[in-house]
Amino acid sequence: MPRALITGITGQDGLYLGELLVGRGYEVFGLVRGQSNPKVATVERLVPGVVLLEGDLTDLPSLIGAVEISQPDEVYNLGAISFVGLSWKQAELTGETTGMGVLRVLEALRIAGGNDLSRVRFYQASSSEMFGKVRETPQRETTPFHPRSPYGVAKTFGHYLTVNYRESYGLFACSGMLFNHESPRRGIEFVTRKISRAVARISLGLQDSVSLGNLESRRDWGFAGDYVDAMWRMLQQDTPDDFVVATGETHSIRELLDVAFARVGIEDWSGYVRSDPRFFRPAEVDVLVGDASKAREVLGWKPRVGFHELVEMMVDADLATEAAAADRH
């Protein structure tokens, strides 16, 4: 039975990846932080048989302990401060978690393995945010980086460190440069889920409007369930490498609003959306669109869920959740 250790198992991707690995016969270990993490029950429900280990990406001894207990064949480093907006307000914490956290996981593998990194395979959750102020369109594996946020800078550090451990120690280390991926499990701070939830609540009469920032930026949005499959495929190859994972389509926040509101029968949403300076960023990533040809050719990966289907799936899920909650009160 292969053994996998996932950091960030309580997050959106951790839950989908945990499900995928259990379905493929893995014994799954998940790192959970905090004294009493409220998401433990959800992880245990969705990832049957999971073994949860206490630890934190800012605490090297806890990571060494997690590696010693789990003895993993595969490590997926998904843990991070992942909200770009927060990364300006808590830049040091973002650097420590999203950047230095990668170093600590890699060092934990080296220390716990007595310098033998030949058994383990490592996946780093890199990001299209590294492309930032993009130098070419679409972005591919060779596109130069120009990160625009402390989060993007920290991810760039983690990305190069992953490459460096591959080149320095021969570690089977892969970096997935994943473009935005969403789902009904997405945190409510991210724009897709903020909108799907608000649209559901507005249509049920529970909320009057939603306050947003920049509606002009464009993102390449895919479905998280598809993207964790690409992570797993990277670690099953004969040689480690880095891959862009994306749909190849880009849409603005306005288009997202069009599809989400149309799902509840509202064609003109202008009366429901307010502009709030708090949600604009000090530096914006204006447009992202990825070229995932390499992932398609080498990994045999392609996205299954398109933009419209994704947004509608999220609005439908929030409608069901909000209606059930309203019924209970």
Which residues, other chains included, contact 291 with Cβ-Cβ below 8 Å and sequence gap of 6+?
138, 139, 140, 244, 246, 248
Stretch of residues binding ligand G4F (CB under 6 A), selected from 15-23, 105-113, 280-288, 312-320: 280-288
Binding mask 169-188 for ligand NAP (x = CB under 6 A): ---------x-xx-----x-
Residue 77 sits in the site that holds ligand G4F (CB under 6 A): no
Known catalytic residue: 156?
yes
* 8 is an interface residue for ligand NAP by CB under 6 A: yes
Spot the catalytic one: 97, 143, 156, 192. Answer: 156
Measured between alpha carbons, how far is 175 from 242 in angstroms, rounded to an integer? 5
Minimum Å distance from CB 297 to ligand NAP? 21
Task: Give the nearest residue (CB) to ligand NAP.
Answer: 11
Q: Which run of H or E residues covers position 105?
A: helix 100-112
SS3 4: strand
Q: Annotate each residue in 185-224 with x if it binds ligand NAP (CB under 6 A) or - if it does not, as one string.
A: --x-------------------------------------
| Residue 62 to residues 6, 23, 57, 102, 109, Cα–Cα distance (Å) | 14, 28, 8, 14, 12
Candidates 44-52, 108-116, 165-173, 191-199: pick the segment binding ligand G4F (CB under 6 A).
Answer: 191-199
Site for ligand G4F in 129-148 (CB under 6 A): 129
Q: Does a cis peptide bond (omega within 30 degrees of 0) precede residue 138? A: yes
Partners of 122 in beta bridges: 75, 173
With beta carbons less than 8 A apart as the criterion, state whether 173 and 231 touch.
Answer: no
Using CB under 6 A as the binding rule, the residues of this chain from 25 to 54 that contact ligand G4F are none
Query: In this chain, which stretch among 65-73, 244-252, 279-287, 301-309 interacts with ligand G4F, using CB under 6 A?
Result: 279-287
Can you list the positions of beta strands (E) in the chain? Answer: 3-7, 27-32, 51-54, 74-77, 121-127, 172-178, 181-182, 210-212, 218-219, 222-223, 242-245, 251-252, 273-275
Stretch that binds ligand G4F, among 165-173, 208-216, 226-234, 320-328 (CB under 6 A): 208-216
Using the rule CB under 6 A, which residue among 128, 156, 175, 250 binds ligand G4F? 128
User: CB under 5 to 8 A by kind: which of ligand G4F, ligand NAP, none does 291 bind?
Assistant: none
Q: Which residue has the tokens 């007595």?
A: 114
Measured distance CA(304)–CA(222) in Å, rounded: 9
Of residues 87, 97, 143, 250, which one binds ligand NAP by CB under 6 A?
A: 97
Give burial (CB, 10 Å; 0-12/13-18/19+) of 207. middle
Residue 28: strand pairing partners: 4
Q: Give the interface with ligand NAP as residue ranges (CB under 6 A).
A: 7-8, 10-14, 31, 33-34, 37, 39, 56-58, 78-82, 97, 125, 127, 178, 180-181, 187
Residues with a known catalytic role: 156
Q: Give the interface with ligand G4F as residue ranges (CB under 6 A).
A: 82, 84-85, 127-129, 179-180, 189-192, 194, 212-214, 217, 219, 253, 279, 281, 284, 288
